[in-house]
């Protein structure tokens, strides 16, 4: 963020799209700079694929404008845009071998045979598939097909590469490896990537900019740290950081720390850039790993509840505490040891800087 | 228990196949029999093969059948393939009706097709012969090609065409580079089926062939009503050998070329 | 955009043209002729509206012929299903190599003239034929069986000619089936038979329908099999129509017969679809 911003390659201006009566996109604005790795993150049906297809030209927006390197391309056919796509199911041509698949874009541009051969060979070694020229797609594994799809899309030297959940069909281990390789590739080539995923881990690992989408709108756009540490809305907080969302009324403000009282206790939160008023109610997000659990309260602010569930998920112990108002708070711990049992009453605490105010938009102006 | 069931199924397949091949074996055996009647074995001879090669009428009929098969097959391939491709993309109200009508030739008994063609062609004053035969055979060949290609088109992943567009292909390039190669196997198998049906058709041909034109099946049919000469056995044996060779060669080539979904 | 639409429109033009001119045209003409008045003599009829051609079908001789045709078509179809379904089913369970060989074996007869294969049956079934000689040799019979030129011979011929269609239709539909569904139903407590009826049969019904149509419809029209293997004892609608057209020269009556036959076969197909809830022809197409 501190670095000098490179020129803008792609701009979306107030894009809307309807399929029949359903509004898929309701006014989307996006600015992408050269060489950025931008991820559209959201659950299925949020409109991320449609956004991608509009950029590719496979779909036309009902309203708004798409600017590629400053030129409006809204109504330009996909074959006339310098943008290429890696499709979700790879969409490799089943009747062509790897060489012909990758060379297809060059063949259409009538690039000479010798140059085509050189560029395809280079591309193949870039995606580490040297010697696979003669293979048919049906004879390859998912990971290999994925690489071919990327090579095929990259050979035209696109300004922007669009990737539609390219790792979705791969198993976890392969996915992690491909995340790393894709990021490396993108850095090496310096091409702008616009990447779609519903996996927040993928988004955080790879992106320069994450755009969280929900119901055809952008909830928040920013760097992974921004999104993770300073979620603007409760949706972003819970979707990206799997944070707990709590509500309370501000009773006092000491310097930059607000004290809130909720139905199950009191909570502390840094005010940060917001102007917090005493007596008003606010929503805050606290990430599950920042909450500490005690039998007896150690801090001044704490909420109380009963442990109702313990499970081991993805290398983490996940503890669910049910508060008196029946809402649930999720706490995660490294390792498998946890000294409290199900049914025990506990106090939950966190440091004021570990909580953030969310859903502030419309409540007040930022400072 | 399991083993027993497997062997039963195999036994069943073998028995049905044996019965299927029994009559064919008879024809082959009696094509070498030194007797005009297919009753008892009278010794080995090449006689019927020699006679067959000198039987101008028979060779003429074979030639007619081949020409008819190829032309009607080619016409059906063009009309059926173009039709299936076009139908997938146009939105005419009459689409469903035309699809239904075009499938009539395989939905009604052949004899009806034969008779309506006969009546209609004489109404149009078309000269009965190769022309009428070709029209009739094309009519019942179209549905085979059409349906095969239609089914294949439905099976093609839409993102393949989008990927080609994305890489810079114009709609016509997409058709030549992607769509056509992918439906070609369906066109081929539709054509093969159509050719087989045409090459074997008696019922429709008999109504529209006219007084002088004879195809192989018609020739065989007339002989069967009047009296079969063992030449026919010989001819059938030759066709059988050709078919087996063609099928073997084609399956050999298919093995060389990798299959794709 | 508009141009593209026109291009696809151009693609369907030959199909439209051909279908309208050579399918719809003749069909309409047939219906029209069936209401015309027969003048007797060579191909003579006048455009005077009459229902006589249809009332004539009610004549017991002709009615009998219809009934006989349907009986034969039904018997053929049922037997072809009984023989062909297990065949297609077993075939689909073979190893890939076994499937290839079986497919080859089915395709070869398909490509050889069906007439000549019928002739093979004549060789087998005739009084002094292979079957009788063999049966006599092993002492099963004293007097030769007179199978040829009888109803069973016609039935054999029909089954023989139409079986491959059923096999191919069933085979491709069983092959496509997801076997884990059968396993799931077994897992949920279905007996092999129950699993077969509730899952396998249900899922392969489209293929079976295709097979039934490809068997039933032609069996109404394959008059030459009855002609060759049945002598003149079995007169089917097909033979009747052919007779009326060629020897009888009564076109309007032949047309009326054809219209009724078309309606009846369409009705059968419609009913079968309603019962099995299958919409599209599936299987070998």
Instruction: Return the residue in A49, A85, A95 with the most chain B beta carbons within 10 A, the one to mutate for interface testing.
Output: A95
ipTM: 0.82
**Contact (CB, 8 A) for A339 and A294:** no
Count CB-CB contacts under 10 A for residue A331.
25
**Contact (CB, 8 A) for A217 and A28:** yes
Q: Using the beta-carbon criterion (under 8 Å), do A78 and B181 form an inter-chain contact? A: no
Q: Using the beta-carbon criterion (under 8 Å), do B169 and A108 form an inter-chain contact? A: yes
Higher pLDDT, C177 or C249: C177
Which residue in chain C has the smallest CA separation from B151? C285
Please indicate whether chains B and A are in contact, defined as at least 3 beta carbon pairs under 8 Å. Answer: yes
pLDDT interval class at A4 (50, 70, 90): low
State the DSSP code for C36.
S
Question: Over the Cα atoms of chain C, what is R_g?
Answer: 23
pLDDT at C129 over 60: yes
Task: Please give the pLDDT value at position A104.
Answer: 93
State the DSSP code for B179.
I
Q: Using the beta-carbon criterion (under 8 Å), do A58 and B166 form an inter-chain contact? A: yes
- Joined tokens for residue A215: 């119901």
Count CB-CB contacts under 10 A for residue B156.
15
User: Closest to C23 (Cβ–Cβ): which among B80, B92, B139?
Assistant: B139
Q: Looking at the complex, does the CB of residue B24 fall below 8 Å from at least one CB of chain C?
A: yes
Crossing angle of helices B230-256 and B216-226, rounded to 10° = 150
Per-residue pLDDT reduced to its tens digit, B36-74: 777 777 888 888 898 888 888 888 999 999 999 999 999
- Secondary structure element (H or E) that encloses residue C46, with its range: strand C45-46
* Secondary structure class of C37 (helix, strand, coil): strand
Per-residue pLDDT reduced to its tens digit, A65-110: 999 988 898 888 888 888 999 998 889 999 999 999 999 999 988 9
User: Closest to A156 (Cβ–Cβ): which among B168, B170, B178?
Assistant: B168
How large is the average pLDDT for residues B17-37?
Answer: 88
pLDDT at B259 over 50: no
User: Closest to A139 (Cβ–Cβ): which among B164, B181, B258?
Assistant: B258
Q: Using the beta-carbon criterion (under 8 Å), do B168 and A87 form an inter-chain contact? A: no
User: Closest to A79 (Cβ–Cβ): which among B160, B168, B258?
Assistant: B168
- CA distance, residue B133 to nearest chain C CA (Å): 12
Count CB-CB contacts under 10 A for residue B249.
10
- Joined tokens for residue A160: 């922007």
pLDDT at C174 over 70: yes
* Secondary structure class of C38 (helix, strand, coil): strand
* Secondary structure class of C128 (helix, strand, coil): coil
pLDDT at C42 over 80: no
pLDDT at A215 over 60: yes
Per-residue pLDDT reduced to its tens digit, B227-239: 778 888 888 888 8
Q: Using the beta-carbon criterion (under 8 Å), do C22 and B17 form an inter-chain contact? A: no
Instruction: Return the residue in B23, B124, B198 with the most chain C beta carbons within 10 A, the one to mutate for interface testing.
Output: B23
CA atoms within 13 A on the CB side of A286: 26
Task: Please give the pLDDT value at position B258.
Answer: 44
Q: Which residues of B touch C237 (CB under 8 A)?
A: 111
Q: Which residues of A touch B259 (CB under 8 A)?
A: 138
- CA distance, residue A140 to nearest chain B CA (Å): 12
Per-residue pLDDT reduced to its tens digit, C188-227: 888 888 888 888 888 888 888 888 888 888 888 788 888 8
Average pLDDT of chain A is 88
Which residue in chain A has the smallest CA separation from B180? A95
- CA distance, residue B160 to nearest chain A CA (Å): 5
The Cα-based distances of C165 to C94, C207, C216, C284 in angstroms read: 19, 10, 11, 8
Beta bridge partners of residue C242, listed in sequence order: none
Q: What angle do CA A73, A77, A82 make, to 5 degrees?
A: 65
B19 CB-contact burial (10 Å; exposed 0-12 / middle 13-18 / buried 19+): middle
User: Closest to A105 (Cβ–Cβ): which among B168, B178, B181?
Assistant: B168
* Secondary structure class of B44 (helix, strand, coil): strand
Task: Report d(CA C135, CA C137) in Å as an integer.
Answer: 5
Per-residue pLDDT reduced to its tens digit, C62-89: 888 888 888 999 999 999 999 999 999 9
User: Closest to B86 (Cβ–Cβ): which among C9, C23, C269?
Assistant: C9
For chain B, positions 182-201, list CB contacts with chain C under 8 A: 196, 199-200
Which residue in chain B has the smallest CA separation from C27? B116
Per-residue pLDDT reduced to its tens digit, A156-169: 889 999 999 988 87
**Contact (CB, 8 A) for A14 and A62:** no
CA atoms within 13 A on the CB side of A364: 13
- Joined tokens for residue C229: 């293997």
Helix, strand, coil percent values for chain C (each to nearest 5): 75, 0, 25
Chains in contact with chain C (at least 3 beta-carbon pairs closer than 8 A): B
Q: Using the beta-carbon criterion (under 8 Å), do B159 and A89 form an inter-chain contact? A: yes
Confidence (pTM): 0.78
Q: Using the beta-carbon criterion (under 8 Å), do A93 and B168 form an inter-chain contact? A: no
Kindly give the residue spans of alpha helices, DSSP state H, lying in chain B: 2-30, 47-54, 56-87, 95-102, 104-107, 110-124, 130-155, 158-166, 171-174, 180-200, 203-208, 216-226, 230-256
Domains of chain C: 58-276 (1.10.3720.10)
Task: Please give the pLDDT value at position B102.
Answer: 86
Instruction: Return the residue in B156, B166, B176, B179 with the most chain A beta carbons within 10 A, the one to mutate for interface testing.
Output: B166
End-to-end CA distance of chain B: 36
Please indicate whether chains A and C are in contact, defined as at least 3 beta carbon pairs under 8 Å. Answer: no
Q: Looking at the complex, does the CB of residue B4 fall below 8 Å from at least one CB of chain A?
A: no
Q: Using the beta-carbon criterion (under 8 Å), do C18 and B138 form an inter-chain contact? A: yes
Per-residue pLDDT reduced to its tens digit, A268-303: 888 877 888 888 888 989 988 888 888 888 888 889
Max intra-chain CA distance, chain C: 80
Task: Report d(CA C220, CA C262) in Å as an integer.
Answer: 10
Q: Which residue has the tokens 């539709």?
A: B190
* Secondary structure class of C70 (helix, strand, coil): helix
Domains of chain A: 8-234 (3.40.50.300), 235-358 (2.40.50.140)
pLDDT at C3 over 80: no
User: Closest to C112 (Cβ–Cβ): which among B111, B147, B240?
Assistant: B240
Q: Using the beta-carbon criterion (under 8 Å), do C258 and B115 form an inter-chain contact? A: yes
Secondary structure (H, E, C), chain A = CCCCCCCEEEEEEEEEEEECCEEEEEEEEEEEECCCEEEEECCCCCCHHHHHHHHHCCCCCCEEEEEECCEECCCCCHHHCCEEEECCCCCCCCCCCHHHHHHHHHHHCCCCHHHHHHHHHHHHHHCCCCCCCCCCHHHCCHHHHHHHHHHHHHCCCCCEEEEECCCCCCCHHHHHHHHHHHHHHHHHHCCEEEEEECCHHHHHHHCCEEEEEECCEEEEEECHHHHHHCCCCHHHHHHHCCEEEEEEEEEEEECCEEEEEECCEEEEEECCCCCCCCCCEEEEEEEHHHCEEECCCCCCCCEEEEEEEEEEECCEEEEEEEECCCCEEEEEEECCCCCCCCCCEEEEECCHHHEEEECCCCCCCCC
Q: Which residues of B touch C22 (CB under 8 A)?
A: 117, 120, 135, 138-139
**Contact (CB, 8 A) for A51 and A15:** yes
Task: Report d(CA B149, CA C72) in Å as an integer.
Answer: 34
User: Closest to C114 (Cβ–Cβ): which among B30, B85, B200?
Assistant: B200
**Percent of chain C scoring above 90 in pLDDT:** 18
Per-residue pLDDT reduced to its tens digit, C9-35: 888 899 999 999 999 999 999 999 899
Per-residue pLDDT reduced to its tens digit, B143-202: 989 988 988 888 888 899 999 999 988 888 898 999 999 999 889 888 988 898 898 888
Task: Please give the pLDDT value at position A332.
Answer: 87
Task: Please give the pLDDT value at position B6.
Answer: 56
Per-residue pLDDT reduced to its tens digit, A20-65: 888 889 988 999 999 999 999 998 888 899 999 999 988 889 999 9
How large is the average pLDDT for residues A311-330?
Answer: 86
Q: Which residues of B touch A136 (CB under 8 A)?
A: 258, 260
User: Closest to B112 (Cβ–Cβ): which among C19, C29, C258?
Assistant: C258
A295 CB-contact burial (10 Å; exposed 0-12 / middle 13-18 / buried 19+): exposed
Q: Using the beta-carbon criterion (under 8 Å), do B86 and C15 form an inter-chain contact? A: yes
A311 CB-contact burial (10 Å; exposed 0-12 / middle 13-18 / buried 19+): exposed
Per-residue pLDDT reduced to its tens digit, A146-202: 899 999 999 988 999 999 998 887 888 888 888 998 999 999 988 999 999 988 888
Spatial CA neighbour of A334 closest among A356, A352, A319 = A319
Q: What angle do CA C44, C50, C56 make, to 5 degrees?
A: 85
Q: Which residue has the tokens 């089943």?
A: A94
Spatial CA neighbour of C34 closest among C238, C220, C262, C221 = C262
- Joined tokens for residue B229: 């000469």
């Amino acid at each position: 963020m501190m670095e000098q911003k490179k020129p803008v390659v792609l701009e979306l201006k107030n894009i809307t799209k309807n399929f029949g009566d359903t509004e898929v996109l309701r006014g989307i604005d996006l600015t992408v700079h050269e060489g950025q790795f931008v991820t559209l993150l959201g659950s299925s049906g949020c409109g991320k694929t449609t956004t991608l297809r509009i950029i590719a030209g496979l779909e036309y927006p009902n309203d708004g404008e798409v600017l590629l390197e400053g030129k409006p391309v809204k109504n330009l056919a996909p074959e006339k845009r310098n943008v290429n796509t890696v499709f979700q199911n790879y969409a490799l041509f089943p009747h062509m071998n790897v060489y012909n698949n990758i060379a297809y874009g060059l063949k259409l541009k009538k690039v000479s045979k010798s140059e085509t051969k050189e560029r395809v060979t280079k591309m193949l070694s870039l995606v580490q598939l040297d010697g696979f020229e003669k293979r048919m797609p049906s004879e390859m594994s998912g990971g290999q097909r994925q690489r071919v799809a990327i090579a095929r899309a990259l050979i035209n030297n696109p300004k922007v590469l669009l990737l539609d959940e390219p790792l979705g069909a791969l198993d976890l281990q392969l996915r992690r490896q491909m995340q790393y390789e894709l990021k490396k590739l993108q850095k090496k080539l310096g091409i702008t990537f616009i990447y779609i995923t519903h996996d927040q881990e993928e988004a955080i690992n790879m992106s320069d900019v994450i755009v969280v989408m929900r119901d055809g709108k952008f909830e928040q756009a920013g760097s992974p740290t921004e999104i993770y540490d300073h979620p603007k809305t409760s949706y972003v907080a819970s979707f990206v950081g799997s944070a707990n969302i709590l509500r309370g009324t501000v009773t006092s403000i000491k310097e930059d720390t607000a004290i809130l009282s909720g139905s199950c206790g009191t909570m502390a939160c840094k005010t940060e850039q917001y102007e917090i008023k005493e007596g008003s109610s606010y929503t805050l997000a606290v990430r599950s790993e920042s909450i500490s659990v005690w039998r007896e309260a150690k801090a001044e602010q704490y909420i109380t509840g009963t442990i109702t569930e313990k499970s081991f998920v993805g290398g983490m112990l996940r503890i669910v505490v049910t508060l008196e108002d029946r809402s649930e708070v999720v706490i995660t711990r490294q390792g498998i040891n946890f000294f409290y049992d199900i049914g025990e009453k506990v106090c939950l605490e966190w440091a004021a800087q570990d909580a953030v105010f969310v859903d502030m938009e419309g409540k007040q102006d930022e400072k | 228990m399991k083993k027993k069931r497997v062997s039963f199924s195999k036994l069943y397949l073998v028995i049905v196949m044996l019965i299927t091949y029994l009559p064919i074996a008879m024809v082959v055996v009696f094509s070498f029999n030194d007797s005009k009647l297919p009753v008892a074995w009278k010794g080995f001879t090449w006689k019927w093969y020699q006679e067959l090669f000198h039987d101008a009428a028979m060779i003429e009929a074979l030639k007619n059948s081949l020409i008819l098969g190829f032309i009607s097959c080619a016409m059906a391939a063009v009309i059926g393939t173009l039709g299936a491709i076009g139908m997938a993309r146009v939105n005419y109200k009459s689409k469903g009706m035309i699809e239904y009508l075009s499938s009539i030739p395989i939905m009604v008994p052949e004899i009806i097709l034969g008779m309506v063609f006969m009546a209609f062609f004489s109404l149009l004053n078309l000269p009965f012969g190769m022309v009428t035969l070709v029209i009739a055979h094309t009519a019942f060949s179209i549905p085979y090609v059409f349906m095969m290609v239609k089914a294949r088109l439905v099976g093609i992943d839409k993102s393949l065409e989008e990927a080609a567009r994305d890489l810079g292909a114009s709609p016509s390039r997409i058709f030549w580079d992607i769509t056509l190669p992918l439906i070609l196997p369906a066109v081929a198998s539709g054509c093969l089926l159509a050719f087989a049906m045409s090459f074997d058709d008696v019922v429709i041909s008999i109504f529209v062939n006219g007084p002088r034109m004879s195809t192989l099946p018609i020739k065989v049919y007339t002989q069967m009503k009047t009296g079969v000469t063992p030449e026919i056995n010989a001819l059938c044996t030759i066709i059988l050998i050709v078919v087996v060779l063609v099928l073997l060669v084609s399956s050999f080539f298919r093995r060389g070329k990798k299959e794709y979904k | 955009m508009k141009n593209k639409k026109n291009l696809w429109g151009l693609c369907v033009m030959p199909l439209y043209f051909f279908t309208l001119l050579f399918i719809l045209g003749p069909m309409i003409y047939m219906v029209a002729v069936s209401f015309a008045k027969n003048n007797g003599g060579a191909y003579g009829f006048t455009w005077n509206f009459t229902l006589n051609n249809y009332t004539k079908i009610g004549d017991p001789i002709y009615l009998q012929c219809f009934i006989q045709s349907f009986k034969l078509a039904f018997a053929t179809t049922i037997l072809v299903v009984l023989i062909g379904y297990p065949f297609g089913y077993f075939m689909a369970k073979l190893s890939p190599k076994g499937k290839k060989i079986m497919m080859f074996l089915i395709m070869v007869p398909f490509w050889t003239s069906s007439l000549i294969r019928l002739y093979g049956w004549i060789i087998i079934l005739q009084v002094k034929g292979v079957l009788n000689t063999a049966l006599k040799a092993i002492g099963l019979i004293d007097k030769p069986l007179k199978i040829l030129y009888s109803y069973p011979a016609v039935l054999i011929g029909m089954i023989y000619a139409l079986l491959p269609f059923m096999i191919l239709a069933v085979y491709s539909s069983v092959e496509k089936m997801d076997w884990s569904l059968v396993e799931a139903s077994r897992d949920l407590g279905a007996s092999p038979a129950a699993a077969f009826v509730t899952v396998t049969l249900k899922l392969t019904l489209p293929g079976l329908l295709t097979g039934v149509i490809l068997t039933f419809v032609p069996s109404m029209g394959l008059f030459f099999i009855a002609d060759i293997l049945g002598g003149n004892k079995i007169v089917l609608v097909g033979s009747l129509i052919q007779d009326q057209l060629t020897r009888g020269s009564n076109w309007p009556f032949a047309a009326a017969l054809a219209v009724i036959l078309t309606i009846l076969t369409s009705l059968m197909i419609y009913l079968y679809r309603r019962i099995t809830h299958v919409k599209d022809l599936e299987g070998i197409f």
